[in-house]
Amino acid sequence: MARRRKSKRRRGPKQFSVINAIEAYAYANLLTEGLAGTSPVGFITGTSDISVTGQGTSLVIAGADQLNLAEMITHPGAAFTGMQTNFMANYQNMAVQAIGIGVGFKVAKKLLRRPISNVNRNIMKPLGIGIKL
C-alpha cells in the first residue's frame, strides 16, 4: 500500500495589522486601568511609590492605587493586594468595556471593510513594508 502524503504546513500571515494592534492596546489599557490604575506605558515605566508599614495583620499600604511593574517586583504582596482591591472596585465596568471594545471593533471592521481593503491593496501592498490596516 502506498504511503499517504502529508499536507503542506500553512504559514501565518507575514504582515502586521495596525487595526489588530490598536484593538490589542485597547484591551491592554482596559486591564491596566482596571487592575493597576494606570496606562500600559505607565505600568511598565512607572516608578515605585508604594510603602508598607505595620506588623502582622495590621499592615498599612500606601500608594497602591496606581501600581506598576517595579512595585510588583519590590513589594509583590502589597501590589497584589492593591490589584485585588482595584479589581473588586472595577470588575463590572471592565466587563462592560470589554464587551464594548469587542463589539465596536467587529462592527467597525465590517463597516469599513471596503475602504480598508482599498488602502491595503493600493497603498500598503505596493510599498511592500509588511504592514496592513
Task: Give the residue-averaged pLDDT of 11-39.
Answer: 90
pTM of the full predicted structure? 0.78
CB 15 within 8 A of CB 128: no
Grade residue 5 by pLDDT with cuts at 50, 70 and 90: confident
Say how many domains are in the chain: 1
Question: pLDDT for 58-107, tens place per residue?
Answer: 555 565 567 888 888 888 888 888 889 889 999 999 999 999 999 999 99
User: Quick count: other Cβ atoms within 10 Å of Cβ 133?
Assistant: 17
Given this model, what pLDDT does residue 97 score? 96
On whether the CB atoms of residues 82 and 67 are closer than 8 A, the answer is: yes
52 pLDDT band, cuts 50/70/90, is low
Q: How far apart are CA 23 and CA 102, in angstroms?
A: 8
Q: Is residue 69 included in any domain, yes or no?
A: yes
Residue 2's pLDDT band (cuts 50, 70, 90):
confident
pLDDT at 28 over 60: yes
7 belongs to a structural domain: no
Q: Is the residue at 40 inside a domain? A: yes
Question: What pLDDT does 11 receive?
Answer: 74
Q: How confident is the model at residue 1 (pLDDT cuts 50, 70, 90)?
A: low
Mean pLDDT to the nearest integer, 38-48:
85
At residue 10, φ and ψ (nearest 5 deg) are -85, 140
Grid-cell match 468595556, residue found: 97
Whole-angstrom distance, CA of residue 71 vs CA of residue 74? 5
In a domain, 1, yes or no: no
Beta strand ranges found along the chain (DSSP E): 16-17, 51-53, 60-62, 131-132
Task: Assess if residue 47 is contained within a domain.
Answer: yes
User: Is the pLDDT reported for residue 48 higher than 80?
Assistant: no
Distance from C-alpha of 4 to C-alpha of 72, rounded to nearest angstrom: 53
What 3-state class would DSSP assign to 40? helix
**Structural domain span for residue 99:** 16-132
